[in-house]
Structures are given as C-alpha cells and as structure tokens.
Structure 1
C-alpha cells in the first residue's frame, strides 16, 4: 500500500546544546549543515559543530539581547539583530564583524537574507523594515506601512519580501515595483514568525495560537493550523521539499504538519518549557529547536516505513 512520505515519523537521537545563559531566541543551520548558529537574550551568538555538539566560536558585538540570527544562502556571512537597535553582518569564516548598521531607532527583532545573498532585510519596533546591500552595508529602501512593530521577515525570491507585525498583518512587498504591496489579514494577534517554502507557500505564526498557510500567488489562506488553545506560536519552518511544516509554541509544543492536508502528524516532547526557534536541516532529517530552558534539542526525524 502506498504511503504519503510525511506519514509515520518518529523522533530519536536527541542532542542538547546548553551554554547560553538566557532564552534561546533563534537558531540557523549553515547551508552545508555542518554548523549551527544560535542567539540568546544573554547577548551572545554561538557557533556549534553539528556532529560533535562542540562550541566552535562565540561572536561578541551586541550590547543587548540578540533577537534573531541567520546565515546567508551561500554561508559566507551571517547576520544578527539586537535589542541594542543594531544589525551586525559577520564573516562566517573568521567570525569578524563586516558591518554594524544602526538604521533603526528601536529594538531590531528580525533579519533575513535574500536568496542570492546580495540583500538583507531588518525590521523592528520602529514599525519599519529596511532593505540593505550585503556587500556595502548601504541602506537601499525603507518599507513603511505597518502600524506596529515588525517582528518577522523573509524573502521568497529576489522580488518579494514578506513582513509580519504586531498589527496582526502580513505584508508582501514587491522589490521590483516600489508601489506594490499586498496585505494578508486574518490573524488576531501579532505575527511572530514567517517562512516561505520552495513550492511558493507562506506560513505565518501568531500570538493568536494559529499558523496560517498562504498561497503567495493567489494571496489566499489555504490552511489554518491549531488555534484550539491560544498559545504563542514562536517559530515556523518548512522542510526543504515543502512537504512538512514544523512549528514551536508556548508550553513545550513542537508540532510537525503535513502540507498535503494541513493535519498534525507528530507532537514532539522534551523541552521543559516553551519552545522558541526551530529549523530543519537542509536534508530534512534533523529538526533543531530552542527553548526558554536555555538549551537546544537536535532531533532526528525518521520515516518508519
């Protein structure tokens, strides 16, 4: 009998990373899946070796909690966003600061790279998002239209930037047309996280306890996931093939969703407190989640066929 490839998953091989002294806000795999980047309210950014769990390097440069960190698609750079109102671009090979950018007037909550790595975007409590040039550090464009803090951002291609805000909306900004912007409404709370799939779907997670999956082409909501309990959805991430979506939320909730039908196929347990960041490895075999408990869990996701 044929089985959908998303069915019958089990979790094994849990590994803990626990050097942070504050809440782990975000984690990001390097493109080759050899290293893992994490950031925390302790103001520190750590680089880990995935296979051994060894702490490779500490990046020092922020004077406040680090809210977001992310690798560029080619792995040459990583970026960090902080409550100290700055964005820092780092050279991954040397852990040296390339640019220190101070275009925001309040805490910076999100940073993301374009697909080709030429641009990156930041957003924060000043209600705006900024598009930057990665090589020069020059500000290219400001996006204004949200009426509250911009907490999440993600590029689909080099032509669209999505931002999520405390005003409850998701906005799609055209990078080719300075006038075009599409607003996606439906959430009843702030939009804390966003992720595009390779198939063109956009997932948004909110304080209203739901994850909404949108068709970016039709500008319509396809699935509303969860919502039975009003818990803060903190992070969403697609597997590389777009068949799975993982979400983390308050109260030890890590869920795997089947994107063929919007059904929850697995609830992962192990954190003793709220789960924060989550990310699939490029192969889709590993899922890493960070928690308020000041640790990270690396979990192997296997198909039991």
Structure 2
C-alpha cells in the first residue's frame, strides 16, 4: 500500500481560513468533527466521512477555538466577539454565552461536560460551571501575553495552557495556582494532550517536542523540515502527524522520528491537524478555507474511501443546523 497515492476528502463550506479542529469520542452513531473558522461559523461534520451536518450561527467575529464534549451532545466555540458559546450539538441551539473582555482563543470541556474552560487575550484562564451559569467563573492569572490554548486533563484536576509569552503552564484547579511551567525559545504554535493525559505535545518554530505531563520532563524531540503550526499523535502513540507553512502533511514514526510519508493537498499554510479517535484518519484545516481528511493507512476501505480512486467534495449549501439524530438514523 505504500505506493498508493493519498486521496484526501475535501470538505468545503467555510469562506475564510480554518484555524482549529476538535473530534468527539466514538459514540453510538460514530464520531464527529467541529471546525473553527475566521468566517465566524463553526461547522459540525460526521467525523469519518466529512459530511456536513450543520453550522452554528450566532458569533459576530472570527471563531478561533472549538471543542466537542465526549458524547458529541455539546459544542463550544470562542471568538473575536469576546464571547465563548456552548451549543446543543443535536439541535444546533445556543445554550450559554459567556462574555469576556477580549478575544476568546480557546475553549475546552471537562470530561464530564459540567465545566467549560476558556483562554483569552485577557491573559486569563477561566472555568465556567455549566450547571450554575449565574456563578462567577474561577480565574487563573499568570500568563503575561495572549493565551493560545487551554485543555483539561488528569481527571479535570489540572489545566494546561500555552501562550504568546513563550510558556506552557499547568494549573491546579483546587488552589488556582500554577504548579509547573515550561519556557520556550519561541512562541508555541500548538499543544495537544494525549487522550490518556500522560503526554503533552508542543510545537514551536520547526520543532515537535513530547513531554511527560506529570513532571514536564522531555521525552523526545524532533526537527521538522518546515515551520510547524500543529501536531497530533496517533491514539496508540506509534506515529504523529504535523503540518505548517510548506503546505505538506507529514507523518513520522513516534519512536524514531523517521518520516513515514508526506503529502500535499492544501493550497495554503495548514493551521491545524488532529487524529480521529479511532486513529483511522487525521483531519487538517488550512488558510485555503477547507478541511481535508487523510487516511492513516492509504488505500484502506474506510468511510468514504471505497477505492483508491474515489474522491469526495462535501458542499455546504445551507446556513442552519440539521438534526444529528435524523442524520444518524438514515
């Protein structure tokens, strides 16, 4: 299969650069993918096919960060209109909107879906109780520049964040205090916490680094042939994918750092990559306004890849959300 050409599925519909992606866990109806775009309209798709399900309408500025809860029943988005929103991912309706004082760059659900974490250009992290929305959020201060990303981990007891102040910081939820910190020589471009919470992967410049999440001891580090904007590790930790300014999607062996393969498909720098929860594909979002889905094992029959020559373009011709239960039942 190594000599087969990669044929990604192209998902159109956005009108501006796609800047962030998030998958749900595997549910009874499969798994789902949400995209953040500067057009202000986050989109929900079937994860294994890229088929458009619906668009969440309500933001009045570029959407920078998105997340799905594990069950894909709730979606979250953070935007340049200074709001973080929580949506019913089945009906497409807005459930909560949390006003901030600056651009919201990142949103993250706790694993039990009871809390929403946000990171913003206010240099603050916040945790909102979704069961008590009238309560004041818990705040974490310490970053000295804009926060790029925030994620819950370790059974929601900890938060990890990275920012333009060239740091990664881990926070204790109970005390609100910073408990560990990494300093980088350049602004970190992305961060991913492994599904089991044991490892944090970061990118800066053309470097991908893997860290033990308990003590932030470096596990391994590799130099990539381009400025890297995003990285994602396969669920079984045998490989990782990354991409950036040279438009290529790279796949590397996790243990050795040897390049397995690389493909071109986008027509602009790639801003975000993520592996699906089953590891069968990885998704990418680009400056060109599209998402693409790539096979982990080229040529395998999976999703819409019924043969190596098949291609699919998923068009978004509507502006309202479909009912996911109806789509899944067909």
TM tier, shorter chain?
0.7 to 0.9
- Residues 207 and 224, structure 2, Cα contact 8 Å, conserved in 1: no
Question: Corresponding residue for 2:237?
Answer: 284
| Residue of 191, 213, 218 corresponding to 2:175 | 218
CA–CA separation in structure 1 for the residues paired with 2:2 and 2:67: 22
TM normalised by structure 1 equals: 0.76
- Residues 201 and 210, structure 2, Cα contact 8 Å, conserved in 1: yes
Question: Corresponding residue for 1:46?
Answer: none
In the alignment of these two chains, the number of paired residues is: 251
Question: Corresponding residue for 1:154?
Answer: 108
1:83-162 correspondence runs (5 A): 83-144=38-99, 146-157=100-111, 158-162=113-117
Flag the 1:139–1:66 CA change in 2: closer, same or farther, 3 A.
same
Q: Which has the higher contact order (CA 8 A, sep 6+)?
A: 2
1:256 aligns with 2:213: no
Structure 2 counterpart SS, 1:120: strand
The Cα of 1:219 is off from its aligned counterpart by 2.5
- Residues 208 and 224, structure 2, Cα contact 8 Å, conserved in 1: no
Flag the 1:94–1:115 CA change in 2: closer, same or farther, 3 A.
closer
1:175-254 correspondence runs (5 A): 175-178=130-133, 179-200=135-156, 201-227=158-184, 229=185, 231-249=186-204, 251-254=205-208
TM normalised by structure 2 equals: 0.70
1:272 aligns with 2:226: yes
CA–CA separation in structure 2 for the residues paired with 1:216 and 1:53: 47
CA–CA separation in structure 1 for the residues paired with 2:151 and 2:38: 22
CA–CA separation in structure 2 for the residues paired with 1:108 and 1:51: 38
- Name structure 2 gaps, 5 residues minimum: 257-330
CA deviation vs aligned residue, 1:156-200 (integer Å, no higher than 9, x gap):
221111111111111111111111411111111111112222443
Q: Which runs of 4+ in 1 moved over 4 A?
A: 49-53
Question: Corresponding residue for 2:326?
Answer: none
| Residue of 119, 122, 136 corresponding to 1:164 | 119
- Name structure 1 gaps, 5 residues minimum: 1-48
CA–CA separation in structure 1 for the residues paired with 2:55 and 2:21: 14
More strand by share: 1
- Residues 115 and 156, structure 1, Cα contact 8 Å, conserved in 2: no
1:72-87 correspondence runs (5 A): 72-74=24-26, 75-87=30-42
